[in-house]
Amino acid sequence: MGNRLLIQLMLACIIWCACQVESEETTIPDEFVMKLFKLIQDDQKNNLMLSTQKPPFYRRPGLYTSLTKNNFHGKPNSAVGRTIGVFDNNLFTTNFINTMLLEAYYRGRAPAPSSEQLRMPLDLVPIFMDQNKPYESSIAAYWPMAFDEKTMFWRSNSENHLALFDLLKTIQQLPLYDTLSFLGYSDFADFIKYFEKLGHELLTIAFIPMDTDCTVINLGVGSILLQGKDKFPLAWEQWKGYNTNLSSALDSIKDYSYRPFSGDSDSSSIDPRSYYVFRHFLDEAKAAGKDVALPTTWTQSRKELSWQKDKGMAMYRNVNNVCLGVTANTVYGITSSILSGLVNISVLDDPLLAQIYHNSSALLLHSLANNMTGRPDLALVYYPSRVQVEWFISRSLAKLEDAVSNGPLPSPVLGFVYKSLKAAMRVHATQRLVEAAQAGSGNTLFFEEFLGTDDFSATGASIKTGEDRIFSTGMALNVLINSWTSFDSKRGTLKWVTGTPHTVKLTVSRTAAWLTQNTFSGKYRPGGAFFAGSYKWESTWPNYYPGNRYQFYNGTTIHDWKTQKPNSSTSFFMEGYVSPDSYSAMLGQTWFGGPTPRDFHGYNAEKKPFFAYWESEPLTYTITMQGLSMYRNIEE
């Protein structure tokens, strides 16, 4: 009798504990969400008032703040450099913010953005579109386009960066190096020397071509505006008026795709870094007798490069690449466009577009399942924050999950993508995030990436500033909610998908609790590296990775690899497919004087702080608001 009573008490205790885990909730007050919303609104309004300033401080009206910074880290005299940033007039950041505001409104419990808030950036759409095409184009650029009367050609105009380059040229004439070094600011002195050495090459980055990323993000904007055309009719009509030829966007995805088995010299060529990090995916496809087609970053072919560079527009190092972030955004752009009705499902009747969509989702799954071959710095060319790319993927899964909850998907290709993304997010990304969560105070969980994790005091003591904790924790919250919920259109609420693990629900609740406690605590900056350049340190130079073609940008073959060093006029790349044995032999060689870097030691491992990244406080606040607004819209 005593043993039975003891067993009954133990079972009751276990059941009670399980109920506590399942019922643990965090309350998000309306005032908290409204405070975030107002901060985002005010940022756009403040930039409107400051739009009269001149470069390098010019702010185009309607944009949210986006700052270009350098990853200075270490002792105080170096780490202080992360507080310095240049306002960047890109539409990329603003498109993300307004899309997130609308998603928070539709899938969460957040206020609706005003029509003016949506429409001000849309006024800028024409100057961010490809003006060199002889037809209306929805191929978008990162920076506004400007017409060069000397070359009679439109090219990117990174206004404030160009002015900053001119300022740095002036500074080079001053005796600052010895002065800064004497005062203890040796990293700033080294940066000036670095610019003096590579200033010409850095300047070429300011004149990049249009890109796939901005193009598909624009499709995402149109998709969600179409969804809300009754609520925001003026914004929808404005966007539609500027995008009258959507087939140009889809065609560009195909025209500039990477097809390593095509036999075509142009489409089978890629940045050596991309080949290195994705080679196992290609090996598996080759062994299975399957073709591969993937989206690239730049909407520029090598043939176009041969004459467009002379007019002032060229890919970095004159070669295209594959970035998992761009790939994930391409999947989202196609998914949202089809499911919203922005484009007809028949676009997937095009075999090449369907293949790119199919192969892209397969690459995302393969990369997450294999830890990005241990080189996230090469796989995520422009997105150093890993959780952000997981967020990109989760957005597509959320769209597909919402569609599935209302009936079967209209295409088997969509079905394959849905299956691939489910595995990527509910197995691999979820496992990584649950393991990466760190314990905060009061039963909370937070996430962080790399900003502020490797600073030191003047005496050498380690300092953890948690500079990207709000950003990373907000991203992680969105990833888990997007990956494990579906939207009930009748009730206007989210619900957990069947079989959602208790660990996921608990992680979501405790992550929301951390954000509620810390977003406005003053302990942490709302920083976060949401974007970066492809070059971060010497181990990310493309010429240190195996390639089989070396030429000048105009196509002239370079025969003497020892004498002609890679520079902004040369192009070094991998053409076609190389067998695993042959590639292994190439890895054993040195490339332009150095061995191929095999390992990734973290974004702060390199002490030279010449790693440019982009930061946006309103984006951090938006991703936080979106996550919390969706969290409080979940019905058990």
Listed residue (257, 258, 260, 256) closest to 283, CA to CA: 260
**CA distance to 119, 467, 603, 609, per residue, from 73 (Å):** 39, 12, 10, 7
3-state secondary structure 526-546: CCCCCEECCCCCHHHCHHHCC
What is the reported pLDDT for 199?
Answer: 67
Give the three-state DSSP class for 633.
coil
Q: What is the pLDDT of residues 361-404, one digit of tens each?
A: 999 999 999 999 999 999 999 999 999 999 999 999 999 999 99
Residue 525 makes CB contacts below 8 A (sequence gap 6+) with 452, 465, 467, 470
- How many Å apart are CA 142 and CA 156, to the nearest integer? 8
Report the chain's C-alpha Rg in angstroms.
Answer: 25
Report pLDDT for 56.
Answer: 87
Q: Which of 494, 476, 450 is nearest to 603 (CA)?
A: 450
Q: Would residue 252 count as lying in a domain?
A: no
CA–CA distance, 575 with 296 (Å, rounded to integer): 15
CA distance 481 to 636: 13
Angle at alpha carbon of residue 489, lines to 238 and 240, rounded to 5° = 10
Q: Is 509 helix (H, G, I), strand (E, B) or coil?
A: helix
Q: Does any domain span residue 384?
A: no
Q: Which two tokens stand for residue 141?
A: 């650029």
Residue 171 confidence (pLDDT)? 73
Q: What is the pTM of this model?
A: 0.94
Q: Which two tokens stand for residue 592?
A: 């332009």
Q: What are phi and psi of 594, to 5 degrees?
A: -140, 150
Which pLDDT score, from 0 to 100, does residue 14 have? 37
Angle at CA of residue 64, ends 58 and 70, nearest 5°: 70
Give the chain's residues under pLDDT 50. Answer: 1-22
Q: How many domains does the chain have?
A: 1
Residue 2's pLDDT is: 46
Q: What does the DSSP 8-state code read for residue 309?
A: G
Specify whether the backbone of 372 is left (phi greater than 0), alpha (psi in -120 to 50) or beta. Answer: left
What are the structure tokens assigned to 347, written together?
A: 């676009």
Residue 33 DSSP symbol: H
Question: 187 in a domain, yes or no?
Answer: yes
Residue 209 Cα distances to 171, 202, 575, angstroms = 29, 15, 21
pLDDT of the residue at 54: 85
Beta bridge partners of 575: 269
**401 within some domain:** no
Q: pLDDT by residue (tens digit) across 536-578?
A: 888 898 999 999 999 999 999 999 999 999 999 999 999 999 9
Nearest to 190 by CA among 528, 537, 422: 537
Alpha-carbon 505 to chain mean position: 26
Domain that holds residue 196: 168-201
Report the 10 Å Cβ neighbour count for 56. Answer: 16
Q: Is 576 helix (H, G, I), strand (E, B) or coil?
A: coil
List alpha helices for 88-245, DSSP H.
Answer: 91-107, 115-122, 159-172, 176-182, 186-205, 212-227, 233-242
User: CA 618 to CA 597: how far, in whole Å?
Assistant: 36
Residue 608 has what pLDDT? 67
Question: So what's the pLDDT on residue 543?
Answer: 95
Question: What pLDDT is stored for residue 537 in this prediction?
Answer: 80
Buried (b) or exposed (e) across 128-148, using 16+ Cβ within 10 A? bbbbbeeeebbbbbbbbbbee
Please report the pLDDT score of residue 175 as a whole number.
76
Retrieve residue 157's tokens.
């105009």
Residue 176 lies in a domain: yes
In a domain, 191, yes or no: yes
In a domain, 186, yes or no: yes
CA geometry: angle 7, 8, 14, nearest 5 deg? 90
**What is the reported pLDDT for 18?**
41
